[in-house]
Amino acid sequence: MFSEPRLTSLAHGGGCGCKLAPSVLRDLLAEQPLAQAFPQLLVGNESSDDAAVWQVDDRTCVIATADFFMPMVDDPRDFGRIAATNAISDIYAMGGRPIMALAILGMPIDKLSVPTVRAILAGGAEICAEAGIPVAGGHSIDAPEPIYGLAVIGLAAPEDIRRNGAAQAGDKLILTKGLGVGIYSAAIKKGVLPSGGYEEMIATTTLLNRIGGELSRDPAVHAITDVTGFGILGHGLEMAKGAGLGLRLEMGALPVLAHAEALAEGGLATGASTRNWASYGGDVVLPEGLPDWRLKLLTDPQTSGGLLVAVAPEAAEATLARIRAAGYDRASLAGEVTEGPVRVEVV
């Protein structure tokens, strides 16, 4: 009789916690040629942006991204839904509208049943349908660990593209989703996630970041990035370095999932959190005496996390209200962009 293991037991990591540490990624890409010889390539590998952008003509840009990972939950449909939401987010973060996706699938076919793999694919297709796009094809391999994600194509007008490095000094920062997804994932693996926690995590990780495509049409919104595997500090630092400015985050203003602080204070964290801090801690200033568990929240890898939005100060409150009205209940004013130095400061 076929005995099927838990999805998470087949993976050495899960969700965006699988991402290579920022320092490792820098080393791997250090000698890769830049794509600056192509004038139509508005966004390529010269920066740490969320997706590539190719300008077709005066009115149209194509946005392309790929994102995949190993399971952070055991329910196959939920795994597919989370992975698809996370992949599509890159299009929204660039200010675009997704138009189609291709599935990326690697499965240990000797360990997982056909219905389980079908459920993963169905979950991804469900989210794509919610985003109004087809899964138009893809590629699959037999792999030792389960892997699923999407390559996604989107469109935007050139003036609506929002790079993560276009923030301006004085901008206010809005974070649209609560932090703590990685901590929740660690709690799932240990069987200690409190009642209601799983439903809360699924709700946030399957909430499409489509508000990014709407905000990009507002000239008061200067920069957008999605907060994923490098945590709020890592992706905030990418925004700071791209703009050549500083970011100041207010610890008490950052939105957090309901049980994340208690779980972190109890010692739960992911290995990716430690790797993240080792990669970029030298560019971060923390308050004196900040407890280690609070640092774990700041470096926690966010799978299908929220958007970090830099908006002109006079438009910040109205933009926040607009985001909350669109269904992002935890969205908060979380800090501001400063003249420098180029770093992230937590107060």
Unique residue bearing structure tokens 């990669």: 279
Q: Is 59 helix (H, G, I), strand (E, B) or coil?
A: coil
On the question of a cis peptide bond just before residue 313, with omega within 30 degrees of 0, the verdict is no
Of 16, 18, 61, 128, the active-site residue reads 16
Q: Is 50 known to sit in a ligand binding site? A: yes
7, exposed or middle or buried, with CB in 10 Å at 0-12, 13-18, 19+? buried
Catalytic (active site) residue 18: no
Q: Is residue 51 within 8 Å of residue 94, measured between CB atoms?
A: yes
Cα-based distances in Å from 332 to 172, 284, 287, 296, 324 = 10, 21, 20, 20, 9
The DSSP H or E segment spanning 80 is helix 76-93
Q: Determine how β-strand 284-285 pairs with β-strand 221-226.
A: unpaired
90 carries a ligand binding annotation: yes
Residue 47 annotated in ligand binding: yes
> From CA 347, how far away is CA 345, in angstroms rounded?
6
Q: Is 279 annotated as a binding residue?
A: no
49 marked ligand binding residue: yes
Residue 172 is assigned to a ligand binding site: no
Sign of the Cα pseudo-torsion (201, 302, 96, 127, in order)? negative
| Residue 138 marked ligand-binding | yes
CA atoms lying within 13 Å on the CB side of residue 265: 5
Is 19 known as a binding-site position? yes
Residue 40, Cβ density class (10 Å: 0-12 exposed, 13-18 middle, ≥19 buried): exposed
Known binding residue 182? Answer is no
Does the annotation list 57 as a binding residue?
A: no
DSSP string, 260-305: HHHHHHTT---HHHHHHHHHHGGGEE--TT--HHHHHHHH---TT-
CA-based radius of gyration for the chain: 19
Nearest-10 crossing angle of helices 271-280, 22-29: 60
Q: Give catalytic residues, as residue numbers.
A: 16
Extract the annotated binding site.
19, 47-50, 67, 90, 138-140, 226
Extract the annotated binding site for Mg(2+).
50, 90, 226
Extract the annotated binding site for ATP.
19, 47-49, 67, 90, 138-140
